[in-house]
Structure 1
Amino acid sequence: MANPVFIGSNCIAKIGNQFFLIAEIEAKTTGVEIDPIFAIRATAFQARRLIRAGVMRCKIQSTAPRPSRGKKVELKGVLFANGQIFSVFDVENSTDVAVLVKINAARAQQLISKGVRIIKVIRRPFN
């Protein structure tokens, strides 16, 4: 039987002069689906090494992705990082990627008041 816990979408985001590993933890089994996204601060060295090892850079764009045939889009939360605010989407088609869309504080508050989660940021890099 396959392990029910695994990493979903993941990428490295450069926000200002800081790097973050964006990772979705997925836990799926009969009747259970847990899939939050976290942001983990990384050093520039760690980010470069992870990218060289095959971790993709996050897509940062100005408009929200749209679902289409074969492409599922799910708003995962609001990310506050290095003085900037993003809505974070999980986009699944042939791949599973995180997409960050820059938003303002008013839009963030609107999303949060509608129940959208605030993405947990682990701010101190691991050595």
Structure 2
Amino acid sequence: MAQPITIGANSIAKINNRFFLIVEVEAKTTGVEIDPVFGVRTTAQQAAALIRAGVMRTKFQNFDPKPTSTTKVELKGVLFAGGQIFKVFDVENSTDVSVLVRINQAQAQRLIKAGTRIIKVYRKPF
């Protein structure tokens, strides 16, 4: 039997010399599909250790990723981190990765008003 809770996309983002672990938690079972994304501030040492252990670096793009026949793209929310604002996408093909696209305050407010979630960020490193 598959585990009902797993980690989906996860990566390390460096935003204005601050490091964030971007994580998707997937909870799936009959009648339930919950998959929030959240950020956790890390120290530079924690980020480096996680990258050495195999955690990917977050992808940053200037444009929204597009779905294809082999790639699923889902907008997960708006991230406010390091004084910048991003749309966060979950991009699934042979890997499962977060893609961040920088946006401005007006774009963020339009998305939030239309129902896009604000991604929770734990700002104090553990």
> Counterpart of 1:28?
28
Q: Does 1:11 align with 2:11?
A: yes
Structure 2 gaps of 5+ residues are: none
Q: CA deviation at 1:60?
A: 0.7
Structure 1 gaps of 5+ residues are: none
Deviations 1:84-127 (A, max 9, x none): 0000000011111000000000000010010000000000000x
Residue identity (%): 70
Pairs within 5 Å for 1:41-120: 41-120=41-120
Distance in 1, matches of 2:70 and 2:17, equals 35
| Residue type at the aligned position of 1:83 | G
Q: What TM-score do you get using the length of structure 1 for normalisation?
A: 0.98
Q: What TM-score do you get using the length of structure 2 for normalisation?
A: 0.99
Distance in 1, matches of 2:30 and 2:89, equals 24
Q: CA deviation at 1:3?
A: 1.2
Deviations 1:38-84 (A, max 9, x none): 00000000000000000000001110000011111000000000100
Distance in 1, matches of 2:118 and 2:60, equals 18
Aligned residues: 126
Q: Secondary structure of 2:57's match?
A: coil
Q: Secondary structure of 2:50's match?
A: helix
Distance in 2, matches of 1:46 and 1:122, equals 15
Distance in 2, matches of 1:71 and 1:31, equals 24
| Residue type at the aligned position of 2:39 | A
| Residue type at the aligned position of 1:123 | R
